[in-house]
Amino acid sequence: MGDWSEPDRVLIADLLVRGIIGLNEWERKKKQDILVNLEIFTDIRDAGRSDDVSKTVNYRTITKAVIALIENSSYFLVEALATEIARLVVAEHGVPRVRVRVEKPGAVRFARSVGVDIVRERGDFE
């Protein structure tokens, strides 16, 4: 691995998915918009030099997995959903470190969205 002070990142920005999230009774019955942003910290120097897809993370595969997770889950807390997304990316896709931001647009009056922003590493899921 490289120096984490300025690590390489693969970005998945503004992924909008509908899923069950929240504490209120109506939130448990009706899917809502959930906005996800990922920063996948991984060394992509070999991929840049070789132009070889096997030397990098497959962002399409990760995106499909995150969409399936959200569409088929029903978390009460955005904290729990963000943690599970991080676990999926790190543990199942071999990524050393990920930043996950999960937001519920329109969840609070007068705010564009509310959410959490977490960073997790392999050691968090061992």
**Quick count: other Cβ atoms within 10 Å of Cβ 107?**
17
In a domain, 27, yes or no: yes
CATH number at residue 105: 3.30.1130.10
pLDDT bin (cut points 50, 70, 90) of residue 7 is confident
pTM of the predicted model as reported, rounded to 2 decimal places: 0.91
Q: Each residue of 12-48: pLDDT tens digit? A: 999 999 999 999 898 899 999 999 999 999 999 999 9
Full domain range(s) for residue 116: 9-125
Is 20 inside any structural domain? Answer: yes
Q: What is the distance of C-alpha 15 from the center of its chain?
A: 9
Q: With 90 as the cut, is the pLDDT of residue 11 above it?
A: yes
Q: Are strands 74-75 and 113-121 parallel, antiparallel or unpaired?
A: unpaired
- Give the count of domains, the chain: 1
Q: Is residue 86 part of a domain?
A: yes
Active-site amino acid positions: 104
In a domain, 51, yes or no: yes
Answer whether residue 3 is part of any domain. Answer: no
